[in-house]
Chain A
């Protein structure tokens, strides 16, 4: 009798342990994946049938630069504040930003991520006030490679720290630089310069008619002039990207809301044509044209919310296919009787953006760089 009670107690204890542990693990497995940390892009081996984007794409995650080529990611730098890669005009090297907590600088790197030289020197000297530090962001090189464009927080006045667009000789220093735009006070300033033939497109932040801060694309062709607005305050657009053939501009427009549409428009060298929204169901960031014109890469969370993943929008999504040729004439003599009504063309399924990565959290404030 005593033995059977002992056995029963042991059995019950085992059952309790198994049931308790199982319930704990089961409930734990029902947790959402919302707080799961993003993986490094290099952690996963791409599937054989995975989408392979054209050329090489450079992007940033957690302070490190990565390249994506032939469907495989390569880490170029350590996680040390690296962001905003941009290519030399001939594609031979990269310029990129390295940010610390108080300042950021622009560097030249090889395409494999080796630092070759520091271009700016924005750290304040020891014992200087912390506000003597500076930020440099969004570096871009002119077509001849001789001029560096950037957003730089100079001049600033006390609490009014704003970005302006600067140019500087790429082999020189910021002291030799030229202030191109005068940002509006207490707005955040002018950002994202994109050199284009005949001038410069950039994003200007300012107060719209309803006293909300909004982004607007502007075009200027001379230093000291804001130029002319390309988009309206109500469109609230930023992040301009020029197509490889220079005829179209991709941008992000948010219409003063917590939405972010991928919009494209024809560009004739001085003004934008009619807008076309090509992605409206994702929080799109950093559109970047493929060098061969076959599509647009961008960053966005997976449907819902989450960290930003890499997406690809094939060209067919925004360029309608050419009309199919008319059917050849029916052989034979003159046709008698009613003509057969032409059958409607088969419906073309809409081309949707393709999510390339699933568990990487890319830096959505860092433009992508694309090399053919």
Chain B
């Protein structure tokens, strides 16, 4: 029992979080752009919303934006995985009411609001969520011993936020993550997925890099055993929250090991023409007529 105490503590504090999904007030009045959630068409398939936040000291810990929103659908029977990155600046109908950038949903109403917003706007059903903060991602990757990533290009940023370990959260630093296959620890993996100044596609380019790191974490998870969970739990501490209970986490580890074919991992980023710039307040405007058929194809 003592061996699993850290995992049990995490199970009580971080996993199995209850989600209060509040329907949007306007769902009752406006048919657009929401669509009704379709049930999972394939037995055993499940959908997880992955949320990543800048939770440094610039923000109140209760009201952080989600810099990263990735919808992941897993079909265990066919070993198909689809990852859809939702642009953080997408101008969307928020479940808490009104319109705004979709990254604000979590800030206004926590994971329940983020889930409800994505469900109503994209017409999908979400089974679970995982939220991770900046330090959480760093600690998670360090706890699994780092990850192997083929970085697509040199990521050079002269104005990278130095807000995790520095004393002044508005400071910045230079980073240079070189290109090619390499082993990244948590800090450098964070730099790779978070930097956006040197990328013409800005947030879209960052979304593609985030998917690279997700796949690398999945690859590394194949080596993990349930006996690793206590050490991982102790390392991550309260930097991760999820509605997935610890028993299910233990079930998912061997499942991750069975996904071997990279061609069965589908990566979707909502680049133009699915979205275009020029929305209110620097937001990105969705073309729902293009997005919804795409989403319903892969998230039935």
Contact = CB atoms under 8 A, between A and B. Distances in A.
Q: Which of A20, A162, A186, A308 has its CB near the most chain B CB atoms (within 10 A)?
A: A186
A101 B227 contact: no
B180 A365 contact: yes
A158 to B, nearest CB: 8
B179 A205 contact: yes
Contacts of B149: 258
Contacts of A215: 153, 179-180
Contact of A101 (B174, B180, B182): B174
Interface string B114-150: 0000000000000000000000000000111111111
B158 A191 contact: no
A259 interface: yes
B155 interface: yes
A239 interface: yes
Given A130-B173, A252-B181, A284-B181, A163 B215 contact: no
Interface string B62-78: 00000000000000000
A318 interface: no
Interface stretch (B31-39, B50-58, B89-97, B216-224): B216-224
Interface string B215-247: 110011011110110010000000000000000
Contacts of B142: 35
Contact of A260 (B150, B156, B215, B219): B150
A181 B269 CA distance: 31
B103 interface: no
Contacts of A40: none
Contacts of B144: 34-35
B167 interface: no
A212 B212 CA distance: 13
Contact of A307 (B146, B173, B201): B146
B61 interface: no
Nearest to A285: B181
Given A27-B3, A308-B183, A163 B262 contact: no
Given A131-B158, A205-B179, A257-B262, A24 B3 contact: yes
Interface string A1-36: 000000000000000000010011001101111111
A169 interface: no
A189 B174 contact: no
B2 A24 contact: yes
B203 interface: no
A103 interface: yes
B178 interface: yes
A305 B219 contact: yes
Contacts of B99: none
B279 interface: no
Nearest to A284: B181
B183 A130 contact: no
Interface in B157-197: 157-159, 172-174, 176, 178-183, 197
B150 A186 contact: no
B293 interface: no
B200 interface: yes
Interface residues of A, number: 65
Contacts of B150: 254, 257-260, 283
Most chain A CB neighbours (cut-off 10 Å) among B3, B149, B172, B183: B183
A305 B174 contact: no
Interface string A31-56: 11111100000000000000000000
Contacts of A301: 148, 183
B174 A35 contact: no
A213 interface: yes
B22 interface: no
A34 B223 contact: yes
Contacts of A365: 178-180, 182
A31 B231 contact: yes
B181 A213 contact: no
A215 B176 CA distance: 17
Contacts of A308: 148, 181-183
B181 A305 contact: no
Given A32-B228, A130-B158, A364 B153 contact: no
Given A31-B227, A135-B176, A137-B178, A191 B154 contact: yes
A189 B156 contact: yes
A285 B197 contact: no
B208 interface: yes
Nearest to B205: A213
Given A131-B159, A160-B198, A364-B181, A32 B224 contact: yes
30 contacts: A23-B3, A24-B2, A24-B3, A28-B3, A31-B225, A31-B227, A32-B228, A34-B145, A34-B228, A35-B231, A102-B173, A130-B173, A130-B174, A131-B159, A133-B174, A159-B198, A160-B198, A161-B156, A162-B198, A163-B156, A186-B200, A211-B201, A214-B152, A254-B181, A258-B219, A259-B150, A304-B222, A305-B222, A306-B148, A308-B148
Given A131-B158, A212-B208, A238-B179, 16 more contacts: A32-B224, A34-B145, A35-B228, A130-B158, A153-B156, A161-B198, A162-B156, A163-B154, A188-B179, A207-B200, A257-B150, A306-B183, A308-B183, A364-B182, A365-B178, A365-B179
Interface of B: 2-3, 142-150, 152-159, 172-174, 176, 178-183, 197-201, 205, 208, 212, 215-216, 219-220, 222-225, 227-228, 231, 262, 271
Please provide the 5 A-B residue pairs with the shortest distance between their CB atoms, ordered closest to farther: A188-B154, A35-B145, A186-B200, A131-B158, A188-B153
